[in-house]
Amino acid sequence: MRTTPATAVPPDALARRFSAVRALSTALVAPLSDADATLQSMDDASPAKWHLAHTTWFFETFVLRDHVPGYRLFDARWPFLFNSYYEAEGQRHARPRRGMLSRPALDEVQAYRAAVDAAICDALPTLSSDALALIELGCQHEQQHQELLLTDILHHFSVNPLEPAMWPGAAKVPVAMPGPIGWIEGRIGEVSVGIDAADGFAFDCEGPRHTALLHLHTLADRTITNGEWAAFIADGGYAEPRHWLSDGWAWVQANRIAAPLYWAEIDGVWTRFGLDGRRPIDPAAPVTHVSFFEADAYASWAGARLPTEFEWEAAAAGADPLGGNQLDAAGPVEPRPSAGGPAWFGDVWEWTGSAYRPYPGFRTAEGAVGEYNGKFMSGQFVLRGGSCATPRGHVRASYRNFFYPHQRWQFTGVRLAKDL
Which residues contact Fe ion by CB under 5 A?
84
Q: How far is the CB of 371 from Fe ion (least distance, A)?
A: 10
**Which is nearer to Fe ion, 51 or 408 (by Cβ)?**
51
Query: Which of helix, strand or coil describes residue 382?
Result: strand
Minimum distance from residue 316 beta carbon to Fe ion (Å): 26
Nearer to Fe ion, 349 or 372 (CB): 372
Q: How far is the CB of 205 from Fe ion (least distance, A)?
A: 15
Q: In the β-sheet with 277-280, what is the strand arrangement from edge to edge?
A: 263-266, 269-274, 277-280
What strands lie across the sheet with 412-413, from one edge to the other? 401-403, 381-384, 349-355, 412-413
Name which of 147 and 311 has its Cβ closer to Fe ion: 147
Closest approach of Cβ 76 to Fe ion, in Å? 20
Alpha helices (H) in 256-329, listed in sequence order: 292-301, 309-316
Question: Over the Cα atoms of the chain, what is R_g?
Answer: 21
3-state secondary structure of 269: strand
For residues 366 and 72, give the distance between their C-alpha atoms in angstroms, rounded to a whole number. Answer: 25
3 state DSSP class of 405:
coil
Q: How far is the CB of 138 from Fe ion (least distance, A)?
A: 10
Q: Count of CB atoms within 10 A of residue 209's CB? A: 17
Distance (Å, whole) CA 257 – CA 4: 43
Residue nearest to Fe ion (CB): 84
> Which residue, 117 or 199, is less far from Fe ion as judged by CB?
117
Nearer to Fe ion, 74 or 82 (CB): 82
Nearest approach, Cβ of 145 to Fe ion (angstroms)?
6
Q: List b or e across 337-349, with b for residues whose CB sees 16 or more CB atoms inside 10 angstroms.
A: bbeeeebbbbbbb
Cβ atoms of residues 150 and 143 within 8 Å: no
CA–CA dist 84, 375 (Å, integer): 13
Listing DSSP states for 63-77 in one string gives IIIHHSTT---S-TT
Nearer to Fe ion by Cβ, of 84 and 401: the residue is: 84
Cα–Cα distance, 266 to 273 (Å, whole number): 12
Residue number, 1 or 281, with CB nearest to Fe ion: 1
Nearer to Fe ion, 84 or 325 (CB): 84
Closest separation in Å from C-beta 372 to Fe ion: 8
Q: How far is the CB of 143 from Fe ion (least distance, A)?
A: 11
Of 109, 369, 151, 136, which is closest to residue 262 (Cα–Cα)?
A: 151
